[in-house]
Structure 1
């Protein structure tokens, strides 16, 4: 009898070869892509943050473990005061933003207020206008000595003192809130749109008026959205660099971000900066935990069904009061700063006001034809922002696909890493990238690569949230049909999924591009002599005090931004920047 006929001899070998062939058939080359994506996430998010933590405990000279960096970071009262100032400033700015945005959101969502299109334009304008440009505009408006408002006040009343002083804690918090209130508006309006009018009708039947129903029914139902907006503005405020530097430094208001910038002055003390940044990261995580604890104590449910509907509340004459409120916020946030910036950009001397003999194109001519870095910084901004947007969207699409299609057992961890930069202040991400990649073996400091990678990591959550929402809208059966017909998973993604989500991906790409083009907090820590971006050059011009050239350069940045906003509205929808997935 041959060996082939013996039971238990040939069969196991055949079975092993068949099992191996089966596993090889099930293995797709695209699986290697998932590994690449995991490594990319570790490179962009996990390693810089891990390195930041390690460096905060390393001796600069020996590399040994030490807590001396924390003692140096918080060993002076000035440094502790900066942290307290940041927390107080964040709370004040978030409160101001909610006071502005919540009535606006209610008026637009629930009432017959006129001019809703104007209100939306104001919200979009405030979202587009970079915070540091708004700060410069308010210096021109409310500077204590030469601000237009104070000059007009003195001229009308003969008073010797200023009416407004933007170089104050309240002025700084107000300017920051004027740039951040759109975040609260979007959250609250989206939540109010889901509340049925039946809830308010029931309150009216029980004798509550319009304002009582709003205060005791509508707003309590959207309390989670208000809290989310408040916390996001708080986190934005404590991580912002441009506005506190432009207004706060002359006002002698030291905050965490400006103090971190001082740690990067020669000699660079990155280990002390890392230690100083750690409590800011803990505060960020703590705020997210506080939000979850507050909202877990109470249920927020609006029961709606087929019969639920939304009817506009008739305000009568009060609708003009609501419109006046919205218009006032829009003027303060957008119209007034833009007007004075435009005037200054065409002025020989901005303090002389509007006069024919004060108009000139010299500021723009200087920037376009004579300035040694202006055009280079424009090219850098477009290149860095486009590259970062492309990297972020491609990574986000692949990660969102893995997570939503449950292709790997640890998909949720990938989603967490992709969203982690959302709760990490940009300035901390920048210091993490400096600690991780500035020195050998990478030696990327001052190169385009480190800025592009930092921007990609910083804004990956925007691209991921956008891509995840788009992927969920595509039923997996469409991809399975392609695979049954012999196509691989990568082919199914490229031929079916990607075309179906193209519009959403384009919108995400444009949003990342726009916010990256105006990013200052991360860029200022990473740029080199020839990799300056427009935002960094704008800050340099503000330090030089040449507001006319600064305003003209800000005008160029806004013009570039508006071109891409127009493209986005044409290709991805008019609300692509304010859409909440």
Structure 2
């Protein structure tokens, strides 16, 4: 029996050993298979990584590189690298450069101060009091973003000039105001102050009034609690809004270009445009001015980032506690009158001026019932001066820009948020760099980059230049919107897809893209709305014989046909408004936390 038991035990041990060996072999094969699958997915992800990086280098890196090269090599446009750095010191020591830089900084600071004087009281009242119709006031104060700055400037000219609308209605002309440094500041402030308003109101809403309420319980007056508690807690957000307004001010072209020539006031952006439009062309000078403008914008954005990350305030409960907003009491009607006045100046005056100019037969006929006419709209839709072609060009370019930036932005955001591939930090940096680059600098860089004889494809003086410019300027919108959406999504579905054998491309198209589609659609609609009325890049790189909506309007005023130009402006504003209303509706229905 013992021999039989030993034999049975040995046989059992042998079978068990073979089972262990087989299991070990299977685990080894499974590990090898999983490792090869991981490597396969990594190699598959390298392809879209390469496509995204190459696209960003063409869209963003190339224009900025050629601006720097033109600063160093003044003969670059002639295909020579001779006389390196020779004009750099000359341009830096040019008194005109110092004057243009000083004007830009002075204008930016003045616009920030005036915008803050308007926006901070409104933002405080919106956040800390029970303002009647608060949501509607927010919507109305978004409208200045829909009115292109150059159209707003032209509308103010039509209103305040001699025999303008204000003189016809009130007997008061404002030539001395609108054509002055103060006029430029006011017009720009009416367009920019909503940036500070929303920063202040949202920051104060997040801070809340509970800390001030505690201070009042301890004996502080409401004003003391506001100045000593609420306002200091809100300073980082307020300062960030002010710096953003400064960056927008020094980059703005339309208002200084419209109002500045009458008083001989020129800033960096108009100086760059003059060097590219007046003969003889001054490429090195334009490149140096562009570099100075980029440095000013980068400084503003760096300070904004530093202030936002310098301090953080964390609620002990993990989320902001609700607080009781103050009742306006007898101040209710004065506060409503203040909001109504600001909305009228920022929204009502420009829109009414655009409508009046487009709806009157002749400007000399004035605001009379007998002078009302639809002939400007008739001329517009009869394709006078290529109006319909300009509209079609803008719409097609805006559509192409929305599609290109949407696809590329979704891919970049996915790689930055989801992947662990080396080099994704460069994708993130390059995709957000256009936020700090003024539009005119991008246009200058594109001209310098593609006006070279060694390129195998002719891009210069074609509509592709506009597509590249718009895409570079507006790419951050899809990247940021899609990135925020991706951070809210788990990765379980993608992991399940990979376990079932799906590759990177298949899981991205069939799993990720449908989930981020609402955010991506919102971003693409915003890109479409902005690209359809962009002015600065359009003036710089539009090919000969072609027009966009913005260049058409600009040209109509230069030719003395403001009625047709304003009719086109009204069409553009209404189109943008309808798109943004649709955008809001999509966001409220499809996006969490919106509305």
TM-score (ref. length: structure 1): 0.89
Instruction: Answer yes or no: is 1:285 the counterpart of 2:298.
Output: yes
Whole-Å Cα distance in 1 between the matches of residues 211 and 175 of structure 2?
Answer: 45
1:194 is paired with a residue whose SS is: helix
Pairwise CA RMSD of aligned residues?
2.7
Decide which of 387, 390, 409 is 1:377's aligned counterpart.
390
Q: Which residue of 2 aligns with 1:327?
A: 340
Of 237, 250, 259, the residue aligned with 1:247 is 259
Structure 2 equivalent of residue 395 of structure 1:
408
Distance 1:26 1:540, change over 3 A: closer
Kindly indicate whether the alpha-carbon contact (under 8 Å) linking 1:150 and 1:164 is maintained by their aligned counterparts in 2: no
Q: How far apart are residue 239 of structure 1 and its match? A: 1.1
Unpaired stretches in structure 2, ≥5 consecutive residues: 1-27
Answer whether contact 2:247 2:301 (CA < 8 A) is retained: no
Residue 24 of structure 2 corresponds to which residue in structure 1? none
Are 1:114 and 1:320, in contact at CA under 8 Å, matched by a contact in 2? no
Instruction: Specify the alignment match of 1:168 in structure 2.
Output: 180
- Name the residue aligned to 1:314: 327
- Tell me the equivalent position of 1:96: 114
1:336 has 2:346 as partner: no
Distance 2:317 2:304 in 1: 25
Q: Which residue of 2 aligns with 1:119?
A: 137
Quote the offset at 1:301 in angstroms. 5.2
Partner residue in 2 for 1:448: 463
Asked if the contact 1:86–1:255 (Cα under 8 Å) also holds between the matched residues in 2, the reply is: yes
Counterpart among 209, 213, 220 of residue 208 in structure 1 = 220
Superposition pairs of residues 7-46 of structure 1, within 5 angstroms: 25-46=40-61
Q: Which of residues 552, 557, 569 in structure 1 aligns to 2:567?
A: 552
Unpaired stretches in structure 1, ≥5 consecutive residues: 1-13, 156-160
Q: 1:373 to 1:303 in 2, by over 3 A?
A: farther
Correspondence for 2:163 among 122, 141, 146: 146
Q: Could you tell me which residue of structure 1 aligns to residue 4 of structure 2? A: none
**Pick aligned residue for 1:59 from 55, 74, 83:** 74
Greater fraction helix: 2
Structure 2 Cα separation of the partners of residues 490 and 297 of structure 1: 40
Corresponding residue for residue 6 of structure 1 = none
Please give the alpha-carbon distance, in whole angstroms, between the structure 1 residues aligned to 2:220 and 2:237: 24
Of the three residues 287, 293, 296, the one matched with 1:274 is: 287
Task: Quote the residue 1:135 is aligned against.
Answer: 153
Mapped to 1, the partners of 2:550 and 2:131 lie a distance apart of: 37
Matched residue SS, 2:131: coil
Are 1:515 and 2:533 counterparts? no
The answer to whether the Cα contact below 8 Å between 1:404 and 1:471 also exists between their aligned partners in 2 is yes
Q: Matched residues in 1 for 2:261 and 2:374: separation?
A: 31
- What secondary structure, in the 3-state scheme, does the structure 1 residue paired with 2:345 have? helix
Q: Give yes or no for the alignment of 1:185 onto 2:203.
A: no
Distance 1:136 1:421 in 2: 28
Q: Bigger shift: 182-191 or 525-534? A: 182-191
Flag the 1:304–1:429 CA change in 2: closer, same or farther, 3 A: farther
Residue of structure 1 aligned with 2:488, choices 473, 479, 487: 473
DSSP 3-state at the match of 1:341: helix
Give the CA deviation at 1:28: 4.8
Who is 1:362 aligned against? 375
The 2-side partners of 1:545 and 1:301 are apart by 58
Partners of 2:392 and 2:383 in 1: CA distance: 16
Following TM superposition, the consecutive aligned residue runs of length 4 or more in structure 1 with deviations greater than 6 angstroms are 18-24
Give TM-score, length-normalised by structure 2: 0.87
Q: In structure 1, how many angstroms separate the alpha carbons of the residues matched to 2:213 and 2:181?
A: 43
- Tell me the alpha carbon deviations over residues 260-315 of structure 1, each in whole angstroms, 9 at most, x when there is no partner: 11101233322321122111111122223334555676665555546822322212
Distance 1:263 1:452 in 2: 23
Relative to structure 1, the CA distance from residue 68 to residue 364 in structure 2 (aligned partners, 3 Å threshold; closer, same or farther) is: farther
Contact 2:44–2:504 (Cα < 8 Å) also in 1:
no
3-state secondary structure, aligned to 1:505: helix
Cα distance per residue 1:377-434 (max 9 Å; x no partner): 1011111111112111211111111111133122122111110110111111111111
Please tell me whether Structure 1 or Structure 2 has the larger radius of gyration of its CA atoms.
2
* d(CA) in 1 for partners of 2:575, 2:319: 46
Measured in 2, the distance between the counterparts of 1:21 and 1:213 equals 64
**Alpha-carbon contact 1:28-1:488 (below 8 Å) kept:** no
Structure 2 CA distance for aligned equivalents of residues 23 and 468 of structure 1? 24
User: 1:25 & 1:301 partners in 2: Cα distance?
Assistant: 43
Q: Over residues 493-525 of structure 1, what are the superposed CA-to-partner deviations in whole Å (9 max), with x where a residue is unaligned? A: 212221111111110001111111121122211
Aligned match of 2:12: none
Q: Say which is worse superposed, 449-458 or 101-110, in terms of deviation.
A: 101-110
C-alpha offsets along residues 329-358 of structure 1, whole Å, 9 cap, x if unaligned?
111110111112101101122354321211
- Between the aligned partners of 1:273 and 1:482, the Cα distance in structure 2 is 52
Deviates more, 1:302-311 or 1:55-64: 302-311
